[in-house]
Amino acid sequence: MWGVIKNLASPKRFLSLSEKLLPWLIILFVVTITYGLVGGLLLAPADYFQGDAFRIIYIHAPCAFLSLFIYAMMAIAAVVGFIWQMKMAFLVIRHSAPIGACFTFLALVTGSLWGKPMWGTWWVWDARLTSELVLLFLYIGILLFQSATTGRKTRDRAVAILTLVGFIDIPIIHYSVYWWNSLHQGATITVFAVPKIAGSMLYPLLAMITAFLAYYTLVLFIRLRYELATGLSYIEY
């Protein structure tokens, strides 16, 4: 694990490694999103209760997962940045935040589109929905803080602290459906339990989650490579 972190922490090693990985990430993204969309939107059978309205899960669930996953990655990067003083870790936070904000916004929008036919309303102040909205505000706050704070070294440390403080919202989002009365359903896929949906619906969903993960990694690598290539990340250090 330390060897991976060390390789990614070195700009020169990161540029070399990412150059090799980018073509594979593109292939992975194209293959998985093609299979996910065809399998989920065309081949999967309609849900018994929801009909074809359930198909929005193939966008909503991956977006919701990525909204949490990206913030968790930012929190890990914040810890790495503080402990090992790695500048690359702070860059990961900076360039992950706008991607995470987009996925969180899409999760809320698609959730509202799904909620209207299922619950009869676009929005309720449900524990899961409200905590996800708080996550969007955290992402926006981090983006605004990056723009408002002067001095890159001070800015990066302040943003890392804000990221770690906001991490408390992640377990709240995940467990909100179990801690409070919620209209939102529980997890459809869990690590240690049998999936609650048929394979014909499950495999396209897993493919879409993989595609979105590949997309996040792809965009993050491109943004990091651009900043390192132009030397912007070290001007103020």
Judge whether 197 lies within some domain.
yes
- Rounded to two decimals, the pTM is 0.89
Q: Bin 231: left if φ > 0, else alpha if -120 < ψ < 50, else beta.
A: left
Please report, for the domain that includes residue 82, its CATH number: 1.20.120
Judge whether 4 lies within some domain.
no
Q: State how far the Cα of 81 lies from the Cα of 159, in Å rounded to an integer.
A: 11
Residue-by-residue pLDDT tens, the chain, 237 positions: 555 566 566 788 899 999 999 999 999 999 999 999 999 999 888 877 777 878 999 999 999 999 999 999 999 999 999 888 888 999 999 999 999 999 999 999 999 988 887 777 877 888 888 999 999 999 999 999 888 766 788 888 899 999 999 999 999 988 887 766 665 565 665 554 556 677 888 999 999 999 999 999 999 999 999 999 886 554 444
Domain of 184? 17-234
Q: State how far the Cα of 187 lies from the Cα of 45, in Å rounded to an integer.
A: 20
Q: State how far the Cα of 158 lies from the Cα of 141, in Å rounded to an integer.
A: 12
In contact, 66 and 100? CB cutoff 8 Å: yes
Judge whether 11 lies within some domain.
no
* Residue 41 CB neighbours (<10 A): 14
Q: Into how many domains does the chain fold?
A: 1
Judge whether 156 lies within some domain.
yes
